[in-house]
Amino acid sequence: MTEPADPPVRRDPLSREKVLLAAVAMADEAKGEVPSTRKLANRLGVRAMALYHHFKNKDELLDGMVDLVFAEVELPTGDLDWQTAMRRRGASMREALKRHPWAVGLMDSRVDPGGATLRHHDTVIGCLLAGGFTIVGAAHAFSMLDSYIYGFAIQENALPISDEGDFEAAAVGMMETVPADEFPHLTAMAAEHALKPGYDYGDEFAIGLDLIIDGLDRHRESWR
């Protein structure tokens, strides 16, 4: 088997940021597969050893990639009430995870998180505390919100459709093979909801997020 040719010599200097941006782009293109060191080096036009001047191992590279994703998420600001801030942060996080579906399983798995990751978490906690949550309540709220956001992102990314037309075609095709008398509730939901003009599964996200925020607000003062 012929060994792959050495990558062409890179003219511009390699930097940590360039490595991370290339790694994130490759993971996005692969729909979930984080690139190997060799593939990443080939993409950048360098030898694999050159990457170790910027990242000592794969975990450090993953830390940096996750940090870039967190940096894309809108942070709460002091001029917003906590409910509005959490809605905007949740919507922004969902969009980031749609752009980077590989990241959802890594977001809270890093043992050496970067600055953007730490800033994100600290700012969200601060917003909740300013909104009247205790430290314990903020922990409950943060956990519940992220469980919902990450879970929705996983489910949304797994759907075999990409737009409204695809969803409608897939639903119609499925329902043609499902006996209505055997599965009456499923067929009723499809006919009366999912197959209605303009239906978008993504709209379910804001509905669920509102329910969670309303529930957190009711319990906010009881957590000590």
For the purposes of burial, counting CB atoms within 10 Å of the CB of 121, is it exposed (0-12), middle (13-18) or buried (19 or more)? middle
Give the integer Cα–Cα distance in Å for 72 and 67: 9
| 118 pLDDT tier (thresholds 50, 70, 90) | very high
- Kindly tell me if the per-residue pLDDT of 2 is higher than 70: no
Helix residue ranges per DSSP H, 159-222: 164-176, 184-189, 203-219
- CA distances for 132 relative to 31, 61, 143, 161, 193, angstroms: 40, 37, 17, 41, 38
Helix residue ranges per DSSP H, the chain: 16-29, 37-44, 48-51, 58-72, 82-99, 115-130, 135-158, 164-176, 184-189, 203-219
User: What pTM was estimated for this model as a whole?
Assistant: 0.84
Q: Mean per-residue pLDDT for 198-219?
A: 92
Under a CB-based contact definition with an 8 Å cutoff, are residues 104 and 53 in contact? no
Decide if domain 1-55 falls under CATH 3.30.390.
Answer: no
Query: How far is residue 79 CA from its own chain's centroid?
Result: 25
Angle at 108 (CA atoms; ends 104, 112), nearest 5 degrees: 125
For residue 75, what is the DSSP state?
P
Helix (H) or strand (E) holding 81: none
List, for residues 32-59, the tens digit of each pLDDT value: 778 888 999 999 999 988 998 898 888 9
- Domain spans of the chain, in order of start: 1-55, 77-222
Q: Which CATH class is domain 77-222?
A: mainly alpha
Angle at 29 (CA atoms; ends 28, 31), nearest 5 degrees: 65
Under a CB-based contact definition with an 8 Å cutoff, are residues 168 and 198 in contact? no
List, for residues 134-177, the tens digit of each pLDDT value: 999 999 999 999 999 999 999 988 877 655 556 666 666 666 77
* Higher per-residue confidence, 64 vs 52: 64
pLDDT confidence of residue 10: 47
List, for residues 13-35, the tens digit of each pLDDT value: 889 999 999 999 999 998 777 88
* Higher per-residue confidence, 146 vs 9: 146
The two most distant CA atoms of the chain are separated, in Å, by 68
